[in-house]
Chain A
């Protein structure tokens, strides 16, 4: 059930929690399901074998993704072990480089290594994943100890560098001295800069997330919660259904990116808006189906108004529970069908008193150059067919 979702991509995330250097071994181990220690040993052995491990590690860093922040930080290994591990790796790597001949001289490398180690002691975060007690201790004494140790190590490194450098004449030329200063700055300040940058990134991500949450909460409050409150007070089931339905429509539009604001610009959206309004005002659900779409202009807008009139009639006079609307835009023209399965009527009998309604449907469509057909009989329901021949947007010849 609770299967870990695995990404199908080749890229894997470096581990945020289980890391000695950059979390590559932790991430790799997590991804392929092997103890990270094995992965680390593999890297070290490969590194001893002619430096392949270094290349592999670099490739892995480039190929992997940023670690996901905030995931199981409690698995971070104990601080002491990490420091020792780092020290061992560093010493091993340096010895290897020395043997391989990739060496700048004892006077540069050993002080640099000492400075890096001091920096690690200074900047590693000691306050994550430990008991409250040890965190308390680290804030008071251990923290100070780390600070002092780190500073002393770096100071010693600088002194050593200066002493050896002066003796061997390495610092005689200005570029070498300048780059030594830069290296020291990078080593001492670099970790702090990346740490601050990472915190800023995390904060930004968190802020975006909470803004999204606030926007969503505001929207749901204004729409869904309001409607739910109204539904609780509504006594008439029909009104309840209408409220639920119009809210559903609105929520759906919001979720699927059809904003409810602004006037409709196409025939389909005009029909949608019209149906929503009729449902709202007359408490009758309308099953609306649209096939195709066309630009909204005077003629087609007339069709929407006529269909609206037909739906309102169905709501007022048919007694049916629901009505159907089907609109189809085809190369030949636009057809709209409004149908209810209500009482129906005898067109001959109602001709006199409902003349006005027929006019408002038939008149509109006639002005737009279309025609209307009404199919009905007592007890048979009613269907109004509205038809506009295309081309809709053609200029008068």
Chain B
């Protein structure tokens, strides 16, 4: 395995960073880590990682600020996976809307974290059961009146079905088997939901994200 995924860790707890490093072992190449927003933006620009594992709460602006800073200043164009102890909806939605391609909680098993990293690296979206629950909650009910693009403001029945399986604790593979579709199709649905999540004007989602912007 010569081309291991190059990973960068951002978390303000040094103890947690070394724990994650130890857990992942040789499966990925950890190219660097940082404990605050400014250092993270600078070091990510220098090391040009494939995937950045990002804590939601950070001194100096939070995970969303790192994503925006890297997009704006750094030469690198990594993919972001949010990892947090928080299960508050505004935290999760804020970092996803800033551009993270996935969200998992810190209680995730090491093996699951590795496959989440791989999946984000491959350009797919990673939804924990909790994130799936938030999305189902947020997209419940009719789309807002006067929406510019009703396609983006609601989920298709199929996307809803896929999310419900994820919320029930099914892996993508198990959900694909239950729905008699290919795993790739499940991934497509989830990526499409992620896109809607980032673009929708649904009130709760834009408000959650706006709340996060000023911390």
Contact = CB atoms under 8 A, between A and B. Distances in A.
A328 B137 CA distance: 9
Contacts of A1: 38
Given A248-B85, A341-B169, 7 more contacts: A256-B88, A323-B169, A326-B169, A330-B140, A337-B169, A339-B168, A339-B170
Interface string B56-88: 000000000000000000000000000001011
A326 B137 contact: no
B91 to A, nearest CB: 11
B209 to A, nearest CB: 18
A201 B211 CA distance: 32
Contacts of B168: 324, 326, 337, 339, 383
B93 to A, nearest CB: 15
Interface stretch (B16-24, B125-133, B143-151, B194-202): B125-133
A252 B85 CA distance: 10
27 contacts: A245-B107, A252-B87, A256-B88, A287-B129, A289-B129, A289-B130, A289-B133, A289-B167, A290-B133, A291-B133, A291-B137, A291-B140, A291-B167, A323-B169, A324-B168, A324-B169, A326-B133, A326-B167, A326-B169, A328-B136, A328-B167, A330-B140, A337-B168, A339-B169, A339-B170, A341-B169, A383-B168
Contacts of B85: 248
A383 B165 CA distance: 12
B132 A289 contact: yes
Interface in A283-304: 285, 287, 289-292
B164 interface: yes
A133 B169 CA distance: 71
A323 B132 CA distance: 17
Q: Which residue, of A1, A289, A341, A383, has the highest number of chain B Cβ atoms within 10 A?
A: A289
A328 B129 contact: no
The 3 A-B residue pairs with the shortest CB-CB distance in the complex, in nearest-first order: A324-B169, A289-B133, A326-B168
Given A1-B38, A285-B107, A326-B164, A292 B140 contact: yes
A383 B174 CA distance: 13
Interface of B: 38, 85, 87-88, 107, 129-130, 132-133, 136-137, 140, 164, 167-170
Nearest to B214: A8
Contacts of B88: 256
Contacts of A287: 129-130, 169
A290 B87 CA distance: 12
A324 B129 contact: yes
Interface string A312-350: 000000000001101010100000010101000000000
Q: Which residue, of B87, B133, B136, B168, has the highest number of chain A Cβ atoms within 10 A?
A: B168
Nearest to B105: A287
Interface in A215-263: 245, 248, 252, 256
A260 to B, nearest CB: 16
Interface string A271-289: 0000000000000010101
Contacts of A328: 136, 164, 167
A291 B129 CA distance: 11
A323 B170 CA distance: 11
A326 B140 contact: no
Contacts of B170: 339
A256 B169 CA distance: 25
A174 B68 CA distance: 73
Q: Which residue, of B85, B87, B137, has the highest number of chain A Cβ atoms within 10 A?
A: B137
A285 B140 CA distance: 28
A376 to B, nearest CB: 14
A373 to B, nearest CB: 13
Contacts of B136: 291, 328
A176 B79 CA distance: 80
Contacts of B87: 252
A292 B132 CA distance: 13
Q: Which residue, of B87, B88, B164, has the highest number of chain A Cβ atoms within 10 A?
A: B164
A328 B169 CA distance: 14
A290 B164 CA distance: 11
Nearest to A383: B168
Nearest to A339: B169
Nearest to B88: A256
B208 to A, nearest CB: 14
A315 B107 CA distance: 19
A292 B167 contact: no
A255 to B, nearest CB: 10
Contacts of A245: 107
Nearest to B129: A289
B34 to A, nearest CB: 13
B174 to A, nearest CB: 9
B22 to A, nearest CB: 17
Contacts of A326: 129, 133, 164, 167-169
B122 to A, nearest CB: 24
B36 to A, nearest CB: 8
Contacts of A323: 169
A330 B133 CA distance: 13
